[in-house]
C-alpha cells in the first residue's frame, strides 16, 4: 500500500495530532479514575474503604512488583513462584528505578504506564497520520482507548511500556530509519516476548522495502535482549527457555493443536462460574484476531501480518485462550486501520464506541474488584 513520504506531512498537523492524542490520553485517565472512585462506592460496599492504589495491585501488576522487589526468586517468605520468569525484565527494572523516587510500588507502576502510554498514543497518532488520510491519528487513538481491555494501559502492566517502544520503532521503520527502529525495538524486546515478533516483522519490512545492505546488521539488535535474558535465566536455573517453561508451570499453557485449544476454551465459555464471561471475551478476541489477519493478508501488508500472526498463533496454539483480547492492545495495525476507515465512514467509529465503550467501563470495574479481566 502506498504511503506519503514523511516530507509531505507538514509540522503543524503533526503538532495538532500530538496535542489531541495527549488530551485524549489524559481525559481517558481522568475518566478511569472517576469510574474507579464512583464504581467502588456504588457497586461494592466492600471496596469503599479500599485505598485507591491497592485496587491496582491485582494479577500481573503484583507479580511485576514482586520481581522488582525480590528478583525472579520471588519473596523468600513465600513459596517459589515458577511462573515469574515468564515476565521479561523491562517493566521490573523500570519499577525498580522509579521506586527510588516514588516509594509506593503501585504508584510507581501507574506512573510508568501513564508516561509510557502518553508516548505510545502520540506515536500511534503520528503513525496513523503517516499512513493517511489526515485525521486518522486522532481516531486511531480513540479506538484503542475505547477498547474493552484499555484498563491495562492504565494499570501497572507492561502493555503501555511495550507500546512506547514498539510503535515509535515501527514508525521509524516505515520512514526508513533502521538504526532508530532497531534500537527502539530492542527496548520493546526487554519488556515482552512480543518484541521477538516485532523483530521478525522488522526484517520482513526491511526486505519488502529493499533496505540498504549496509544497514542490515541493525536488524540483529532487537534480538539481543532476548539472548541476554535467556542467558541470565540459564545462569540462574540452567534452562535456556526458562521464560517459555514458566508459562507452562505458572499457567498450564502447553502447546496443543488450535482446534483443541478452541474446544477447551469454548467449553469454559459455555459453562458457569466467575470466569465464564472472561472466556467468552477470549473467544471474541480470537475471532477478532483472525479477522485482522484476513484483512492484513488481503491488503498484502506482509510485515504487519507477521507481527500480528505470530502473536495470535502463540495464543491460539496454547492449551486454552488466555489474554487474547488484552494482546489486541498491541496490534497497532488494527487501530490504524480503524482510524483510516473512520475518516471516510464516520459511523464506523461511532458504532465501535457504542459497543466497545460500555465494555471498557465494565472491564475497568471488574479489574477494580480484583476479578479476572483479561
Report the C-alpha gap between 328 and 289 in whole angstroms: 7
Where residue 17 falls among pLDDT bands split at 50, 70, 90?
A: confident
The three-state secondary structure class of 318 is: strand
The three-state secondary structure class of 1 is: coil
Residue 309: alpha-carbon gap to chain centroid: 15
pLDDT above 90 covers a percentage of the chain that reads 74
- CA-based nearest residue to 176, from 62, 7, 360, 14: 7
**pTM, entire model:** 0.93
Of the two residues 134 and 326, the one the predictor is more confident about is 326
pLDDT digits (tens, 9 = 90+) for 154-166: 999 999 999 999 9
Residue 255 forms beta bridges with which residues?
Answer: 318
Sign of the four-CA dihedral 358, 364, 365, 367: positive
pLDDT above 70 covers a percentage of the chain that reads 93
Of the two residues 347 and 212, the one the predictor is more confident about is 347
DSSP state at residue 370: T
Residue 255 φ then ψ, to 5°: -80, 130
pLDDT digits (tens, 9 = 90+) for 21-75: 999 999 999 998 887 777 656 555 555 567 788 888 889 999 999 999 999 999 9
76, 70 contact by CB (below 8 A): yes
Q: What is the mean pLDDT of residues 269-282?
A: 85
Report the C-alpha gap between 147 and 353 in whole angstroms: 8
* Spatial CB neighbours of 217, under 8 Å, sequence gap ≥ 6: none
Amino acid at each position: 500500500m502506498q504511503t506519503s513520504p514523511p516530507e509531505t506531512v507538514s509540522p503543524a498537523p503533526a503538532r495538532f495530532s500530538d496535542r489531541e492524542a495527549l488530551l485524549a490520553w489524559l481525559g481517558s485517565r481522568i475518566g478511569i479514575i472517576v469510574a474507579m472512585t464512583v464504581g467502588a462506592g456504588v457497586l461494592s460496599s466492600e471496596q469503599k474503604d479500599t485505598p485507591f492504589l491497592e485496587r491496582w495491585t491485582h494479577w500481573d501488576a503484583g507479580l511485576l512488583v514482586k520481581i522488582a522487589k525480590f528478583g525472579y526468586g520471588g519473596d523468600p517468605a513465600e513459596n517459589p513462584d515458577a511462573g515469574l520468569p515468564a515476565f521479561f525484565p523491562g517493566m521490573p527494572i523500570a519499577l525498580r528505578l522509579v521506586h527510588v523516587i516514588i516509594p509506593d510500588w503501585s504508584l510507581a507502576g501507574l506512573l510508568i504506564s501513564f508516561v509510557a502510554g502518553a508516548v505510545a498514543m502520540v506515536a500511534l497518532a503520528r503513525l496513523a497520520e503517516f499512513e493517511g488520510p489526515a485525521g486518522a491519528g486522532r481516531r486511531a487513538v480513540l479506538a484503542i482507548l475505547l477498547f474493552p481491555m484499555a484498563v491495562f494501559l492504565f494499570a501497572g502492566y507492561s502493555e503501555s511500556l511495550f507500546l512506547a517502544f514498539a510503535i515509535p520503532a515501527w514508525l521509524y521503520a516505515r520512514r526508513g530509519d533502521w538504526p532508530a527502529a532497531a534500537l527502539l525495538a530492542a527496548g520493546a524486546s526487554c519488556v515482552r516476548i512480543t518484541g521477538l515478533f516485532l523483530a521478525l516483522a522488522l526484517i520482513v519490512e526491511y526486505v519488502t522495502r529493499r533496505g540498504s545492505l549496509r544497514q542490515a546488521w541493525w536488524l540483529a539488535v532487537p534480538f539481543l535482549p532476548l539472548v541476554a535474558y535467556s542467558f541470565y535465566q540459564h545462569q540462574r536455573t540452567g534452562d535456556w527457555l526458562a521464560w517459555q517453561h514458566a508459562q507452562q508451570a505458572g499457567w498450564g499453557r502447553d502447546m496443543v493443536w488450535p482446534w483443541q485449544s478452541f474446544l477447551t476454551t469454548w467449553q469454559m465459555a459455555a459453562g458457569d462460574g466467575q470466569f465464564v464471561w472472561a472466556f467468552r471475551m477470549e473467544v471474541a478476541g480470537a475471532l477478532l484476531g483472525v479477522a485482522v489477519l484476513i484483512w492484513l493478508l488481503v491488503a498484502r501488508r506482509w510485515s504487519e501480518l507477521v507481527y500480528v500472526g505470530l502473536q495470535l498463533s502463540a495464543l491460539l496454539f496454547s492449551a486454552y485462550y488466555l489474554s487474547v483480547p488484552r494482546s489486541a492492545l498491541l496490534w497497532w495495525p488494527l487501530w490504524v486501520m480503524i482510524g483510516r476507515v473512520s475518516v471516510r465512514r464516520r459511523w464506523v467509529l461511532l458504532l465501535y464506541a457504542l459497543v466497545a465503550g460500555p465494555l471498557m467501563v465494565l472491564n475497568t470495574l471488574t479489574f477494580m474488584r480484583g476479578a479476572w479481566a483479561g
